[in-house]
Amino acid sequence: MSGGESQHTGFLPDNELMGMDTFIHRIDSTEVIYQPRRKRAKLIGKYLMGDLLGEGSYGKVKEMLDSETLCRRAVKILKKKKLRRIPNGEANVKKEIQLLRRLQHKNVIQLVDVLYNEEKQKIYPFTTGSIVMGFSFLLDSSDTYMVMEYCVCGMQEMLDSVPEKRFPVFQAHGYFCQLLDGLEYLHSQGIVHKDIKPGNLLLTTDGALKISDLGVAEALHPFAEDDTCRTSQGSPAFQPPEIANGLDTFSGFKVDIWSAGVTLYNITTSLYPFEGDNIYKLFENIGKGDYTIPEDCGPLLSDLLRGMLEYDPVKRFSIQQIRQHNWVRKKHPPSEPPVPIPPSAETRDIWRSMTVVPYLEDLHGYGDEEEDDEMFDGEDDIIYTQDFTVPGQVEEEEDEEEEEEQEEECGAVRSRAPVKPQDPQTLHLQTAMTTPPSPAPPTCPSPCTGLLYFPSSFLDFQP
């Protein structure tokens, strides 16, 4: 390229470039140090949002902290746009909420609260005073928040964290017995889960197993003669032959027994009894019912698996028969180290520490001085809540004079009807008819935010 061409195109000649003292050169990305973005506190009702725990087709799961009880929670954030792309997505979420609110068992995930964003909602709920009527309004909003009890990880995550992809026999036995307890409770309530698998089994810090994801579950009619079902949306690898062969009706309870048998097969052998290159080949193999059990399973476990994976639903084991089986009743001594809870996938934290601590620091001013308005996200200022901890009770309405006095003391703005507030810090809270009577909230130490004070010692808390 000539000098004239260099001036015309804007490039410098090579002799001028070599004479320059400064050059622009490429550096490795590892040499670039990025300043971490400061985490801003976000409050939704009485809950302080934490970091992301996981993400799926329905939405995200984040950690939460109850500012009143200091209990660690998990919240499923469901976006209506995503639900509409999934077949029966909105109906499944509504069904799951209705089922979970009536369940209370140590081995079934507990629904603590349901929040939804009113500001984006197009249809307001029908209300009477401060009592919300019905549940049809839950999916009229853009965002629905299902506040659940916190589980540290899922069973599938634990299996994927070890090369063997399985549990030792004694550990699998303990989890399977808890699965039986939770499954027996669901069946006693007339509920067929239809999607039992390791991915839907969660674990707490103390090793308690929780059955979750009741979106495809079915509640039998109270006066139904049997457990006959007609639809199934479960995971293909865990479906029984009657569904793979396309039968119109089948026993719902025996479907759960089959899925539990496939789960036990998987967590003890790291394999699946039936496999296929695609769903059609998989269902063809399941429909034939031919499978093999590895020899290292032993005679007792092999006999139990054959009983649970019986081709004929009538001959398939019931929960009572499984409980009486020698493998279930036998005490299995630890023969190898158990599979531990893996570190967090995001932070690689082996202790799974609370992720809300940085947000607490921001909330209570441990960092730079900022305006209080920046602590709140205007998008989620208006939140309704339903407490499903003790369903069937109705909260008594307070006198108007007492409400006005409490409003003046706390500096809160309350409204019986869904009205968009002018102040972005105003949180509108409404309680469902099923809400149990709760004690009066403690006096807010701050007239501006109405938030509880967290002592500095709490920031050093480790689970």
Helix (H/G/I), strand (E/B), else coil: 432:
strand
CA distances from 400 to 130, 403, 404, 415 (A): 12, 5, 6, 11
Q: Which own/partner contact pairs does 354-358 have at CB distance under 8 Å and 24+ positions apart?
A: 354/50, 354/63, 354/65, 354/72, 354/461, 354/463, 355/50, 355/51, 355/63, 356/48, 356/49, 356/50, 356/51, 356/63, 356/64, 356/65, 357/459, 357/461, 358/39
Question: CB neighbours (10 Å) of residue 240?
Answer: 28
Q: How many Å apart are CA 181 and CA 252, to the nearest integer?
A: 17
Question: Which amino acid makes up residue 94?
Answer: K
Of 299, 321, 104, 293, which Cα lies nearest the Cα of 191? Answer: 104
The answer to the question of whether 81 is labelled as a binding residue is no
Q: Which of 14, 113, 140, 195 is catalytic?
A: 195
Q: Is 312 a catalytic residue?
A: no
Question: Which amino acid makes up residue 73?
Answer: R
Of 238, 224, 253, which Cα lies nearest the Cα of 318? Answer: 253
Q: 298-308 and 252-269 helices cross at what angle (nearest 10)?
A: 150
Alpha-helix residue ranges (DSSP H) falling in 364-445? 400-410
CA distances from 242 to 229, 248, 320 (A): 11, 9, 22
Question: Which amino acid makes up residue 138?
Answer: L
**Which residues contribute to the annotated binding site for ATP?**
76
Catalytic machinery residues: 195
**Which residues contribute to the annotated binding site?**
76
